[in-house]
Structure formats: structure tokens, C-alpha cells
Amino acid sequence: MQIRLMNFFKIGLICSALFAFQQVSAQADTTDLLSLLGPEEETTNYVFATFKSTRVINMHSNENPAAGVLDFRISHRFGAVNTGADNLWGLDVASMRLGFEYGVTDKLMAGFGRSNVNKEIDGFLKYKILRQSTGKRNMPISLSVFTSMVVRATQWENPDRKNYFTSRLFYCHQILVARKFNDRLSIQIAPTLVHRNIIADPSVKHDVFSMGAGGRFKLTKRSSFNAEYFYNLPNQLDAVYTNSLSLGFDIETGGHVFQLHFTNSKPMNEKGFITETTGQWEEGDIMFGFNVSRMFGVVKPKKRKEE
């Protein structure tokens, strides 16, 4: 009986040794195969949704519609809150801009709009130069350039004198530098130059330099608090004009983005809210407004090549 147990024990040891050897061999074969494949290639991880819309509130964000996507945008501003009950605290008065903005490519967008403030038509281009990313391509910021032109279509103040079409033109150029710090916080700065072909007061300047700053703080999966401010360098504008300050909320509902806000700026294009803001927050001279954005797929997107 003892001899049989010893034989059984020896057979068990031999089987265990064979099993262990088989496992080591299989692991070695796998390691050899992986070594033939070489090191795993590192990929680039791009940051998405720094902002939920192409606008922070008034100013452009670093975001563009995707290639082949049309963004139909309605911007609306009511009257000043301090006009009181006679005007239903501004709700009886309305200013509006209608715009169409198109993603020409994933980096380039173009758009135009018509505002009933001074009957202005504006057109713009925005191009992404850098995109925030980690991994193979590590880029800490997103950077876009923006340029626009505005044509004022109101009647000439003095039609009897010789008036030039170029006197109706205004230009704006911006560099948009944005960073998404985490899932909740995004910040953007926007060095800006506005050029006015004609000015009413010869003591002020045709060129206005301004620094814009905006931010987004995510509150829930589909809502955020947004703020933006433009600081104009001193001695560039008439004393009646002030800096633009806007506070509001973004609410995303599928294909729509609603932006509800309070602002002291009635105009809704760049040269307007940067150089022609007259409202004073401390005096209640602020307006409730909203932007509504609706996206439409116009061109079927092509398969993206790996970057």
C-alpha cells in the first residue's frame, strides 16, 4: 500500500512539473510574438467641447461646426431692465440678429448675419490653428484666428454731400486662445483689434485695441454658467461707451443650444459690442437676451483620416 502511494505521489509531481513547464513556454512564446510587433504606438487624444457653442456669449469661442454642418443662429436682446414696468422691464423692446454659419472643413468656418441694430450685415471667417491635445501630440491650448467685416446699411446722415461706400465698413481681427482645464472649467482670452473706417469724433481713434476674456463652468451634464468681459485700452472711445460684460447660462437639448444671459451690450457683432456698448451694470442698464443655435447636416461627412 505504501509503495502504491509513493508511486501516485511521484506521478503527481511529474504532472505538475510538466504543466508548469507548459505555462512558462506559452508565456515565453507570447512575449516573443509581442516583441516582434514592436512597442505600442502612442495616439493623440484631442480635447472636445471646450465650449458648447461657437459663442461664449457674445464673442466667438474656439469651437467650429463640423465640416458640412450648417448652424442657424438667432440672437435676441430685449431692452434695458431699468426702463421699468412701462416697457415690462425691457421685454417690450427687441433687437435681433439672424445668422448662418457653416463648417467648410473641420478647421475652417464661414458665416454671415443681419442685425436690425444699425441695419448691419456682417461676414466672418474663423480658422483653427492649434487644438488642445495629449498623448503623441501634446498641446496645452487651442488657438484660432477670427476676422470679420461689417457693413452698416442705414441712410446717410448727410445725403447731400459726397458719401463713400467704404465709410460703411468696419473690421475686427481676433486671436482666440482657449484651454479646457478639466471637465468643468474652460477659459479663453481674445486679443482684439477693431478698425472703424469712419468715426464721428476726430479726437478718438480709428483703431481700437481690446482684450477679451471668457469662461465656462459646467454645472450639470447639459448646462453651464458662462461669463465674458472686454477691456478696451484707455483713450480710444468716446466717453459714452463702456466695456462689455455679459453673464449667462448654456442649456443643451440635443440639436439645440440655448444661451440665456444678461449683458450691457445691445449690438451683437464684434465691432458693435466691443466699441459701442453704452449700458452700465451698476445703474441697471442691462438687457436680458438669448442665443438659439440649431445645427443641420448639409453635406455627409467624409471618413476622417487618422491625424
pLDDT digits (tens, 9 = 90+) for 109-125: 999 999 999 999 999 99
List the end-to-end C-alpha distance of the chain, in Å, as a whole number.
73
Nearest to 200 by CA among 153, 244, 239, 148: 239
Q: pLDDT value at position 304? A: 55
Residues present in the chain in total: 307
Give the max Cα distance, the chain: 129
- Give the CA distances from residue 155 to residues 22, 81, 274, in Å, rounded to whole numbers and listed in that order: 92, 29, 23
Report residue 209's pLDDT band, with 50, 70 and 90 as the boundaries: very high
Strand runs (DSSP E) across the chain, as ranges? 44-46, 69-80, 94-103, 108-115, 120-130, 133-135, 142-152, 169-180, 185-196, 207-220, 223-232, 245-253, 256-263, 287-297
CA 171, CA 149: separation in Å to the nearest integer?
Answer: 5
Q: What would the mean pLDDT of 20-47 be, rounded to a whole number?
A: 60
pLDDT at 23 over 60: no
- What are the residue boundaries of the structural domains of the chain, listed by start? 44-296
Nearest by Cα to 141 from 62, 199, 54, 239: 62
Q: According to CATH, what is the number of the domain 44-296?
A: 2.40.160.40
| 205 or 245, which is more confident | 245
Out of 12-16, 136-140, 193-197, pick the least confident: 12-16
Contact 213, 183 (CB under 8 A): no
pTM, 2 dp: 0.82
Strand pairing partners for 62?
none
